[in-house]
Amino acid sequence: MTIPELSATLDRSACERLDRDDDLRAFRDEFILPPETIYLDGNSLGARTKGAAERAQEVIADEWGTGLIRSWNTAGWFDLPAKLGEKVAGIVGGETGSTVVTDTTSINLFKAASAALKMQSAAAPERRIILTQRENFPSDIYMLQGLAEQLDDGYEVRLVDDEEVTAGFPNSMTDEVALVVLTHVNYRTGRLFDMETTTSAIHAGGAMVIWDLCHSAGALEIDLAGSGADMAIGCTYKFLNGGPGSPAFIWVSEELQNGFSQPLSGWWSHAKPFEMSPDYAPAEGIRRYLTGTQGIVSMSVAELGLDIANGVDMATVRQKSLALSDLFIDLVETRLAEHPIEVVTPREHAHRGSQVSITHPEGFAVMSTLIERGIIGDYREPSVLRFGLTPLYIGFTEVWDTVEALRDILDNRLWDAPQHQVRGAVT
Ligand SMILES: Cc1ncc(COP(=O)(O)O)c(C=O)c1O
């Protein structure tokens, strides 16, 4: 899908026409959003899926209330991490039996990074450096720093700029690098990194790679197995619409699966958990990446979002996402030209995820004013207004209306009011 006219000639009715011709239009009905709301924060928390409340009710009233403990077997609770893992694999290009849904992204990163370092340490003990993006989501950096400290074995976390990653690590890939942890799409700017070429550059340097797919799973085509990557992690609550705090996933390449040494070796990763043996023996295959008992209500609700993503052609999603962000960027640049706004999301499609980020010196207050009008994006330090574009429930007219609202707010300095300076704990 391409935008036929640029904004010099484009108007709201042209956007309405684009929405009428949209192949993904019907998916809007799979979600429940409040009236009079434009929801541009699906890159942070996806929208509520249509059957979520009913599914939670069913799990609570029937499976828990009536089935009680029997439901671990009869309702398939025990198998949910693997069952949902298969559904995630279908979205991110994992092989059968390569992925489980469990824990949080942060915890899964700890497990994956620990296992990768152990593998590397056996093969190349002199490699003690972990590289990650300076602009990676801070939790990933903190988890790596925490792991290095726990290991107390000379590991060092080094931060590299996004440009260094895109260029294939010309300055940072030395024979001391053991592991590279990369977020596929920068959470602040929306910059996308090429998985295949970046993975090749890392492997050529003798290091392993873990990809964080939080901001790309469900938003664009991913071919984990085909890319040659080693491991990947990601969440289900953004573009996969799993619900607040829904469980994350972990994928490990087939080749590495049974060499994966689980640092959080709880009973769910045991080969025979119900033998209650005092001796640990890791399960073969993906159950090895589990740790302990999972939140079944949350996991059951997350399945609805995964089913929607599995039922859609990701190439069509990507095409519409790029058309939406092209339109957004074009409108910002032409209709807000006299304001101190900078688009920080890359213009090149190959480097763009599914969001548009712009900066404004009063970014927080501007976003607060937009949210007061029912146009929900979010704000990230410093000065960044983020607009997530989820093609399944966002249309071209909503992009038009958002930029027009921004124009009104900026032209009339509506952001300049005391209530728009007050920050909650979550921005
Ligand atoms: C890229 C990225 N990685 C990791 C995380 C942390 O996820 P969690 O809080 O589920 O561990 C987030 C959260 O938004 C994220 O965006």
Distance 10 CA to ligand 1 centre (A): 37
User: Is 426 domain-assigned?
Assistant: no
What positions carry a catalytic annotation? Answer: 137, 212, 237-238, 386
Structure tokens at 44: 């942070």
Q: What is the pLDDT of residue 424?
A: 82
Q: Give 192's DSSP letter.
A: B
Query: Which residue among 45, 103, 105 is best mutated to probe the pocket of ligand 1, counting the most ligand atoms within 8 A of its Cβ?
Result: 105
Same domain, 273 and 405: no
- What range does the domain containing 323 cover? 12-32+314-421
Q: Grade residue 7 by pLDDT with cuts at 50, 70 and 90.
A: low
Give residue-wise pLDDT tens across range 97-128.
Answer: 999 999 999 999 999 999 999 999 999 999 99
Residue whose CA lies nearest to ligand 1 atom number 7: 105
Same domain, 137 and 173: yes
Give residue-wise pLDDT tens across range 31-40.
Answer: 999 999 999 9
> Residues with Cβ within 6 A of ligand 1?
104-106, 137, 139-140, 183, 187, 212, 214-215, 235, 248
Same domain, 254 and 272: yes
Residue 261 annotated as lining a ligand binding site: no
Query: Which residue among 108, 187, 210, 386 is best mutated to probe the pocket of ligand 1, counting the most ligand atoms within 8 A of its Cβ?
Result: 187
Same domain, 362 and 225: no
Same domain, 74 and 213: yes
Question: Minimal CA–CA distance to 211: which of 315, 294, 116?
Answer: 116
Mean pLDDT of the region 400-418: 97
Same domain, 157 and 229: yes
| Percent of the chain residues topping a pLDDT of 70 | 98
Same domain, 189 and 244: yes
Q: What is the pLDDT of residue 6?
A: 54
Distance 136 CA to ligand 1 centre (A): 10
**Structural domain tally of the chain?**
2
Give residue-wise pLDDT tens across range 287-318.
Answer: 999 999 999 999 999 999 999 999 999 999 99
Residue whose CA lies nearest to ligand 1 atom number 3: 137
Mean pLDDT of the region 136-163: 97
Residue 140 annotated as lining a ligand binding site: yes
Mean confidence (pLDDT) of the chain: 96
Same domain, 141 and 285: yes
Residue 382, preceding bond cis, omega within 30 degrees?
yes
Q: What is the pLDDT of residue 8?
A: 60
Three-class secondary structure of residue 31 per DSSP:
strand
User: Is 1 domain-assigned?
Assistant: no
Residue whose CA lies nearest to ligand 1 atom number 14: 44
